Chain A
Amino acid sequence: MDDHRRQAIIEEIPRLRRYARALVRDRDAADDLVQDSLERALSRIESWTTGDSPRRWLFTIMHHLFVDQLRRSRRHVQAVALMPETIDAASSPPPQPDKLASAEVLSALEQIAPERRAALVLVAVEGFSYADAANVLGIPAGTLMSRIARGREELRSILDDVSRRKMIKVVEK
């Protein structure tokens, strides 16, 4: 394989790591996902059309691996049904959002359903166009748009909860 292609792939690694971290919070697990993606990419380098940015191609590969991973882990999450109880959204008006620490924002991101999280991050953080993001995720543009919209709503309400909790703590002190 020529050095030019390898170099182009190396240049994408920081972005792949960032996207992986949005999908999988733990740093080592995220880097494992990047590593798996690179290995798979290198094993099928011929599927990367010359002249194309490798970005979309690499993100697509990573997304497939992430979905596989998700499918495996979901088999273990059936416990939700154990405590049948609806989770009520807090009804009090959200307080003015305080300055939030990165860790709090990333925890909030992690609470968004993975499909919506992926759509939101691809577009709002990674700067993919709707067409490219839909392509990476393998979904129609309409589905992408509704995932983005719902992802934003979810992020807002989770961040409101975080701020609310911080307020409660401040009041208690």
Chain B
Amino acid sequence: MTRREFSMSDIHLALDGELPDDDRAEFERWLESHPDMKAQSARFERDGAILAAALAPILDEPVPSRLTKLASGEVKPRRSWTISLRNAAAAAVVFVAGGIAGYFIASSGSFNEEDLADRLAENAIGAYVTFTASLPHAVDVGADDRAYLEGWLSKRTGLKIIAPDLAASGFELLGGRILPSGENIAALLVYKDKSGNQLSIYMVGEGGEKAKGTYTPEEGGPTAIYWMNKGFGCAIVGSLPRGQLAEVARNAWRQMVEAGAVG
């Protein structure tokens, strides 16, 4: 029998049941003689098992009746797919004419991009000043269950919100809350460090052209470091020295980028 040389890709083939049966025994022997590869394979197998276990409960969830009724023909489709484009266009017109009219007019009229950035920063600083003044009441939902907090804030704001882990900068997450921002809902995450410094991250589903900057409305008052992009605004506010705040902001931003939570 010719000895076949195995490699990493055979590990994937084996895990996925795609390794030819004839190669199986020899592959197992190869694995035994390559402990690093064996560990790799075991690790992938474990990851696959925990992934499957995390998703498995979904199969047992009751199926929403809107789905079963649709498939059984009890309810008609919401729309016909052949005219969906026209419907989408009509819906867009209604949307613009309705909810965001104020914002739409504002952004094409008297408000320029700089004003939008200032407004974002000012709202964020206002939220910081209001809610960190009394820490016990700063948050609606505590940090004990981060996943729940993130899910709740995401749901309410319509954004993908993650609560960055700022332990490396010495800040501990206390929790979060929602608050109004014009016609939108904004999310506020509140942090504090061991010496009592506070920090907040403010996120809202509005923003003009891409922009970033820092904003300190009052000498010696809190500073906001903000980023804005179409439909997304984020500001990190604190009363730390500028360099330290920028460092924390970079850390938070990096995690948000990694999680795809910036747009």
Contact = CB atoms under 8 A, between A and B. Distances in A.
Interface in A38-64: 38-40, 42-44
Interface stretch (B30-38, B106-114, B250-258): B250-258
The B contact surface, by secondary structure, is helix
Nearest to B58: A18
B90 interface: no
A111 B71 contact: no
The A contact surface, by secondary structure, is helix
A124 B258 CA distance: 24
B239 interface: no
Contact of A80 (B52, B55, B61, B257): B257
Given A13-B68, A31-B67, A85-B250, A129 B18 contact: yes
A145 B53 CA distance: 23
A13 B63 contact: yes
Nearest to B212: A82
A79 B54 contact: no
Interface residues of A, number: 62
Contacts of A124: 15-16, 48, 51-52
Interface string B2-28: 000000110010011110000000000
Interface in A2-49: 6, 9-10, 13-15, 17-18, 21-22, 26, 28, 31, 34-35, 38-40, 42-44
> Which are the 10 A-B pairs with shortest beta-carbon distances?
A103-B147, A77-B263, A105-B54, A79-B229, A76-B263, A102-B54, A39-B77, A18-B58, A14-B59, A124-B48
Interface of B: 8-9, 12, 15-18, 43-44, 46-48, 50-61, 63-64, 66-68, 70-73, 77-82, 147-148, 151, 154-155, 165, 167, 210, 212, 227, 229-232, 250, 253-254, 257-260, 262-263
7 contacts: A10-B71, A14-B59, A31-B67, A42-B77, A83-B257, A109-B54, A121-B51
